[in-house]
Amino acid sequence: MSTLTSPASEDAFVAQQFDNIEQQREAAKLGMWIFLATEVLFFGGLFLGYTVYRFTYGQVFVDTSRKLDVLLGGTNTAVLLVSSLLMAFAVRAAKLDQRRMLTWLLLGTALLGCVFMSIKGVEYHKDYVDHLVPGRHFEWHGPDPYNAELFFWIYFAMTGLHAIHVTVGIGVMLVLALLARLGKFSRGNHNTVEIAGLYWHFVDIVWVFLFPLLYLVGHR
């Protein structure tokens, strides 16, 4: 093992179970996509529950959905879409070995993730003040309060699980930004940034479905 010499080429990063750097990159991406397939089913269970109850209690879902703030929800969609753009540029910078650019783009992605979480926090606070959080303080003056509460259970479960994913993503981006600053992803060793990007884009896709399904059930 030539551990004493500094890596001269990309092949220095090839773990011993792989033939070459291409195979290693392909394996990393494959592993991440398989994980994302399990995530599709993880969120899928909630989407299924949502679908069944929406068909069962259509009118209640229309009434309750109107209580959500479509401006905040829509803005958050835009925030995540732009964060995905920064993430895509981060992966590009990693491939081109642009260390400073990579660090800033990862920090920018994390920052937009924080903006998303802040807006989500404002929304949750509004829901709390308006007595829309399920539980003892839930108040509903329209028809069928029991199933109105059910909608908000689903809303908090789905957006909550998504928010956990965003939080994890922010943590990953901050760690990667630190590692990028230390030069860990230089000279072709960009696998980690690329698969973290896949995760971030996936979380974006989940929100792309949550926004219309939760905020725009009936027309306004």
Nearer of residues 133 and 157 to another protein, judged by Cβ: 157
Give the separation between CA 164 and CA 86, rounded to whole angstroms. Answer: 20
Locus of tokens 């879409």? 81
User: Ramachandran region of residue 5, left (φ > 0), alpha (ψ -120 to 50) or beta?
Assistant: beta
Out of 24, 25, 113, 196, name the contact with another protein by CB under 8 A. Answer: 25
Residues with Cβ within 8 Å of residue 204, at least 6 apart in sequence:
80, 81, 83, 84
Task: Sort 190 into a burial class: Cβ within 10 Å, 0-12 / 13-18 / 19+.
Answer: buried
Write the interaction track for another protein spanning residues 87-126; mark x where CB under 8 A is met and - where it is not: xxx--x--xxx-----------------------------
Question: Judged by CB under 8 A, which of 109, 190, 193, 196 binds another protein?
Answer: 190
Per rule CB under 8 A, count of chain residues that contact another protein: 57
* CB environment 63-75: b (16+ within 10 A), e (fewer): bbbebbeeeebee
Residue in this structure with the two tokens 């809303």, named with its chain if needed = 155
Report 200-219 residues binding another protein (CB under 8 A): 201-202, 204-205, 208-209, 211-213, 215-219
Considering the rule CB under 8 A, would residue 188 count as an interface residue with another protein? yes
Q: Does 51 bind another protein (CB under 8 A)?
A: yes
Residues in the site for another protein, rule: CB under 8 A? 10, 25-26, 29-30, 33-34, 36-41, 44-45, 47-48, 51-52, 55-56, 58-59, 70, 74, 77-78, 81-82, 84-85, 87-89, 92, 95-97, 188, 190, 197-198, 201-202, 204-205, 208-209, 211-213, 215-220
